[in-house]
Amino acid sequence: MSKLKKYEILDDDEINLANRVRDGVSFNYFLRLSDQIHLTMQEWAEYLHLSERTIQRYKKENKPFDPIYTEKIVVIELLYKKGVDVFGIEENFYTWMDTKSVALGGVKPKDLLDTSFGITMVYNELGRIEHGIFA
The model's pLDDT over 69-107, given as tens digits with 9 standing for 90+, comes to 999 999 999 999 999 999 999 999 999 999 999 999 999
In this structure, is residue 95 part of a structural domain? yes
pLDDT(20) > 50: yes
Residue ranges making up the domain that contains 68: 15-130
Q: How many CB atoms lie within 10 A of CB 60?
A: 9
C-alpha–C-alpha distance, residues 18 and 88, integer Å: 27
In this structure, is residue 61 part of a structural domain? yes
Q: Mean pLDDT in the chain?
A: 90
Percent of the chain with pLDDT over 90: 84
pLDDT at position 10, please?
55
In this structure, is residue 135 part of a structural domain? no
pLDDT at position 14, please?
86
Which whole-number Å values give the CA distances from 29 to 34, 96, 112, 128, in the listed order? 9, 25, 23, 30
In this structure, is residue 57 part of a structural domain? yes
Angle of the 90-97 helix axis to the 67-87 helix axis, nearest 10: 120
Q: What is the pLDDT of residues 7-16, one digit of tens each?
A: 344 566 888 8
In this structure, is residue 98 part of a structural domain? yes
In this structure, is residue 1 part of a structural domain? no
In this structure, is residue 8 part of a structural domain? no
Residues in a beta bridge with 107: 101
DSSP 71-99: HHHHHHHHHHHHHHHHHSSHHHHHHHHTS
Q: Residue 77: left if φ>0, alpha if ψ -120 to 50, beta else—which one?
A: alpha
In this structure, is residue 31 part of a structural domain? yes
Q: How many domains does the chain have?
A: 1
